[in-house]
Amino acid sequence: MFNNCENDGYPLIEQIGNAKGYWKSKVIEFESIPILCCEKCQNIYLKQNIAIIVQEITRAIYDLNEYDVTTVNISSSYKSIIENKREIYNLLVEKKIYPIIDNNKLIIIAKDIKSFENKGDLGLLAAARNHNGENFTEDVLKEIEEMKNYEDQ
């Protein structure tokens, strides 16, 4: 969809990086997602699927108005979220999944999205979890740990 930068016509390079999501007054930094970056001016572009989920998550955070977050990490879950991109807003706003809140960062792990897919029935797993960041089950902790390792690279 994008091949060249709109500014200067230089090629766009696919990479993992940060991009901002906007909804009304809300600006959220999304960490470690696939972006297209101009090799000359560093302008960042998003493919359509990523752009949609970035906007839908930002919109959900704005509408929920109860998470004091400035950063979102979907680095382990964006593929699953894309498959459910029409649902992600409702999943968040209707609290069918509980994202992890770590300081000002909201983290959505793949397991939550997959558990929603598999069960169809909502949030049972999430409800069993203290979403203040304690009492994570071992597999959830493992996924968070893997994500952090990935960020460190």
Instruction: State the Cα–Cα distance between residues 1 and 153, nearest whole angstrom.
Output: 29
Contacts to Zn ion from residues 38-67, by CB under 5 A:
38, 40-41, 43
- The nearest distance, CB 28 to Zn ion, in angstroms, is 23
Residue 10 beta carbon to Zn ion: minimum distance, rounded to whole angstroms: 5
Q: Is 7 a residue that touches Zn ion (CB under 5 A)? A: yes
Residue at 21: amino acid letter = G
CA–CA separation, 90 and 78 (whole Å): 16
* Calpha distance 153→146 (Å, rounded): 11
Provide the minimum distance between the beta carbon of 2 and Zn ion in the complex, in angstroms, as a whole number: 11
Tokens coding 44: 């960042």
- Would you give the DSSP letter of residue 26? E
Q: Which stretch binds Zn ion (CB under 5 A): 9-17, 20-28, 90-98, 133-141?
A: 9-17
Between 47 and 96, name the residue whose CB sits nearer to Zn ion: 47
Question: Residues 147, 73: contact at Cβ < 8 Å?
Answer: yes
CA 32/CA 15 separation, integer angstroms: 9
The CA-atom distances, in angstroms, between 48 and each of 51, 52, 112 are 5, 6, 23
Query: Smallest distance, Å, CB 35 to Zn ion?
Result: 13
Q: Which is nearer to Zn ion, 8 or 117 (CB)?
A: 8
Task: Closer to Zn ion by CB, 38 or 100: give it.
Answer: 38
Closer to Zn ion at the Cβ: 2 or 62?
2
Residue ranges in contact with Zn ion by CB under 5 A: 5, 7-8, 10, 38, 40-41, 43
